Amino acid sequence: MSETKKKKSFRETMLSWGAKTLLALLVLSFMVWGVGDYIAPQHDQSAVATIGEIEITSHEFQGELRQQINRLQGIFGGNFTTEQAKAMGIGDNVLQSLIQQRLFAEGARSMGLLVSNDLVSREIRDDARFKSPGGDFNRLTFNETIQRAGLSEAGYIDLFRKSLLQNQFLSGIQNGRSAPSSLADLMYRYRNEKRSANYIEIKHSSINTVPAADDEALKKFHKDNAAQFTAPEYRAITLVQLQIKDIVDEIDVSEEQIKEAYDDRINEFQTPETRKIKQILLSDETKAKEAYIRITAGEDYVKVAKEVANLDAASLDLGTLTKAQLPLKELADAAFSQAADTVSAPVKSPLGWHILKVTEIKGATQKTIADVRADLKKGIAAEKAVDSLYALSNKFEDELGGGASITEAAKRLNFKVRKIATVNAAGVDAAGKKIADLDANIIRVAFGTEQDQDSALTDFGDSGYFILHVDGVTAPALRPFAKIRSDIELAWKTEQRASAADKKVKALVDRMKGATTLADIAKELKVSVKTTAEFIRTGAGLKVQLPGSVVSSLFKVKGKKAVFGATNNTHFIAQVKDIKQANPVADKKGLDQLKNQLSSNISNDITLQLANALRGKLGVTINRSAVDAAF
């Protein structure tokens, strides 16, 4: 199965054959690129926002919001929910982004800026993402790319047009930005100042003054820290998965089908001829002829290039190219008509005179049907399995409709039934063990289904379907004191030791305000004084794990004043050992990078101010009820 097919959902794959036919018709209908000929159907719907007289429809808002949530699910996993997105303010971010796009579009129109259909067409055709291996615009690649992004052709063109228009409108800000050199210099010195420190560690486990706890103190600690000792909600489920992998081995694939697939995809199995080419480029024909005569007389190609054209060896190398990758027909014909280790006579092109040398030739190759038979058979079987599984899923739903339980329906159709006694929202059982082969989508559905109820038959990406029954729900509960007394006592001691260590360290630091040194404290505690490597304010350069509060304090403190901080199990006392000022003059590259970053930040600030000014001029109204209804 191809990589593209692997990324499709199960239902999308089911529709693939019909989609291919429709796609072919679309390709024919758009053979002449007419970006202005398609008018999107209008929808009667509430506006979520109005900018001047321009509306943002709830349909548009929902589409952009859905794409953003899909992106976040790709990062956080399938358990990321709409409710979590709402809590993170994703809806407002999407809405404000759409509003800003409209503001800049209106600003551009007020200045008379336009983006022609020809410009949109040309820019899209020049996009490398939509080109074939030969470098030409590929309509099928374009369609597949925007469909994977969840966009229609009209939708993508509209977004692309708005992007071009916005780029035109903001070009003055983007191209004219430049941070003052004095600001970059100051920021460089601040960010790159380096310090080293002496420090000691006081491990909490070394505190032996914590008294034994009685049951009364532990019970109070248990009650006061109930969240720490509360077991999460668990669910018991019966799971049935209707998976392609369970039936694909039973699918018959004929030699005729393999041969047909091979013929249809023949281009995938062909590698064009490539040649490694060097080039001497001259503007003068006389010099080109002189160079050619010297090379054919036996002189070194690189030496002649240096003496005649002042070109070094690196600038001669065009790389390994196919014929289609050479941009000029004259060069392509010459390079691909000569033998290896030969030099062409001077070739004229609009760029000048070229003397080409072919140093290596790799002939075109083509994988035979025998080479790819196994992969083709596997892919065809998987596609046919989709049809079979779809039919079986319909039978499964018929069984359920007839009153069968999911277990009974699974047994009748020979699907495996999996019983999971306990699982929490993290996919862990009651013993704290991660449950194997349990997808996050299954867990999400399990925790969204009521007790004693079946879930819906759910699309499982490119695998098939799954359905589950929630057999039982164990609500979150405070673990009984008697069963976890040892855990409670350990947690109590850990807290007491951390508290005692904190008091002890504060007292030691107070003593260091006088004549007591860090070395004195270390000797008293029978620990060693350690020294860090040089580090900057972010902690970069440290070869030890100092708390962030200690690193921050070491850059604020004056002189040798002691600072302290803690991790979960260790306290640290530290003093600045040495300070090394940053020198921007010695790091031009780093200074230039910082200046570009500051310039970008300034540009972003001005862009925001411009957006706010346009808000005031045009007026922006947000329909909060429509936003809430759409989210």
* 19-36 pLDDT tens trace: 333 333 333 333 333 332
Residue at which a domain ends, from 337, 363, 389 = 363
Separation CA 439–CA 79 (nearest Å): 10
pLDDT tens-digit readout, 230-243: 999 999 999 999 88
Higher-confidence residue of 369 and 387: namely 369
Give me the pLDDT at residue 149, please. 66
Q: What per-residue string of b and e applies to 568-596 under the rule 16 or more CB within 10 Å gives b?
A: eebbbbbbbbeeeebebeeeeeebeebbe
243 belongs to a structural domain: no
Give me the pLDDT at residue 79, please. 67
Give me the pLDDT at residue 251, please. 84
Q: Which domain holds residue 569?
A: 194-230+484-580
Average pLDDT value for residue range 330-351: 91
Closest by alpha carbon to 10, among 239, 240, 248, 243?
A: 243
Do residues 496 and 573 share a domain? yes
Do residues 201 and 324 share a domain? no
Give me the pLDDT at residue 177, please. 64
Separation CA 50–CA 342 (nearest Å): 68
Instruction: Please list the alpha-helical segments (H only) found in 465-526.
Output: 485-511, 518-525
Helix, strand and coil content of the chain, in percent to the nearest 5, comes to: 55, 20, 30
Lowest mean pLDDT among 144-153, 226-235, 304-313, 506-515: 144-153
Lowest mean pLDDT among 164-178, 434-448, 591-605: 164-178
Tell whether pTM > 0.75: no
Closest by alpha carbon to 222, among 424, 483, 430?
A: 483
59 belongs to a structural domain: yes
Work out the pLDDT band at 14, boundaries 50, 70, 90.
very low
Give me the pLDDT at residue 21, please. 30
- Asked if 98 and 49 touch (Cβ cutoff 8 Å), the reply is yes
239 belongs to a structural domain: no
Work out the pLDDT band at 114, boundaries 50, 70, 90.
confident
Do residues 80 and 42 share a domain? yes
Give me the pLDDT at residue 337, please. 93
CATH number reported for the structural domain that contains residue 293 in this entry:
3.10.50.40
254 belongs to a structural domain: no
Angle between helices 139-148 and 153-176 (to 10 degrees): 80
Closest by alpha carbon to 193, among 576, 624, 625, 456?
A: 576
Q: Does 197 score more than 70 pLDDT? A: yes
Do residues 215 and 111 share a domain? no
pLDDT tens-digit readout, 510-550: 999 999 999 999 999 999 999 999 999 999 999 888 999 99
Q: Does 105 score more than 80 pLDDT? A: yes
401 belongs to a structural domain: no
Q: Considering the chain, what percentage of its residues have pLDDT values greater than 70?
A: 90
Do residues 46 and 171 share a domain? yes
169 belongs to a structural domain: yes
Most confidently modeled range among 64-68, 138-142, 454-458, 522-526: 522-526
Lowest mean pLDDT among 172-186, 500-514, 560-574: 172-186
Q: Considering the chain, what percentage of its residues have pLDDT values greater than 90?
A: 47
Q: How crowded is residue 54: how many other Cβ atoms within 10 Å of its Cβ?
A: 15
Question: Tokens 């005692």 map to which residue?
Answer: 500
Do residues 40 and 163 share a domain? yes
380 belongs to a structural domain: no
Give me the pLDDT at residue 210, please. 87
Q: Count of domains in the chain? A: 3
- Asked if 191 and 537 touch (Cβ cutoff 8 Å), the reply is yes
Do residues 168 and 219 share a domain? no
Do residues 142 and 203 share a domain? no
pLDDT tens-digit readout, 246-263: 788 788 889 999 999 888
118 belongs to a structural domain: yes
Separation CA 404–CA 394 (nearest Å): 14
Give me the pLDDT at residue 356, please. 94
Give me the pLDDT at residue 230, please. 94
Give me the pLDDT at residue 116, please. 80
